[in-house]
Amino acid sequence: MEKGKLRFHRIWARCFLTFAITATLSRSQTAVGPVGPDSAQPRNLTAGLLQASSGSNPKALSNTGEIRSPEHVANYILGPEDTIVIRAFQAEELSDKPMQIDGDGYINLALVGRVKAAGLSVAEFEAGLTQRLKDYVKNPQVSVLVIDYRSEPVSVVGDVATPGLVQLRGQKTLVEVIALAGGLKTDAGNSVTITRQLSNGQLPIAGAVDSPDGKLSIARVNLHDVMDGRDTNDNVLIKPNDVLMVPKARLLYVIGEVQKPGAYVLSEKDSVSVLQALALAGGFTQEAAPKKAKILYQHDGQPNRTEVATNLRKIMDGQAPDVNLHAEDILVVPSNLPKKAGARAVDMAINMAGIAVWRF
Report pLDDT digits (tens) over 315-337: 999 999 999 999 889 999 999 88
pLDDT band at residue 169 under the 50/70/90 scheme: confident
Whole-number average pLDDT of the chain: 78
State the total domains in the chain.
Answer: 3
CATH code of the domain in which 97 resides: 3.30.1950.10
Is residue 344 within 8 A of residue 256, CB to CB? The reply is: yes
CATH code of the domain in which 331 resides: 3.10.560.10
**Any idea what the Cα angle at residue 231 is, between residues 226 and 233, rounded to 5°?**
100
The sign of the CA dihedral 21, 27, 30, 31 is: negative
Q: Which of 246, 278, 310 corresponds to the end of one domain?
A: 246
281 within domain boundaries:
yes
349 in the same domain as 256: yes
Q: Would you list the DSSP string of 46-90?
A: HHHHHHHHTTT-GGGB-TTSPBPPPB--TTPBP-TT-EEEEEEET
The pLDDT of residue 247 is 94
Question: How far is residue 81's CA from residue 99's CA, in Å, rounded to a whole number?
Answer: 9
353 in the same domain as 287: yes
Average pLDDT of span 167-178: 89
The pLDDT of residue 26 is 40
| Nearest in space to 117 (alpha carbons), one of 82, 93, 88 | 82
Report pLDDT digits (tens) over 57-71: 333 334 433 444 566
pLDDT band at residue 168 under the 50/70/90 scheme: confident
Is residue 282 within 8 A of residue 334, CB to CB? The reply is: no
| φ and ψ of 138, to 5 deg | -80, 125
234 in the same domain as 312: no
Q: In the chain, what percentage of residues exceed pLDDT 90?
A: 47
Q: What is the CA radius of gyration of the chain?
A: 33
9 within domain boundaries:
no
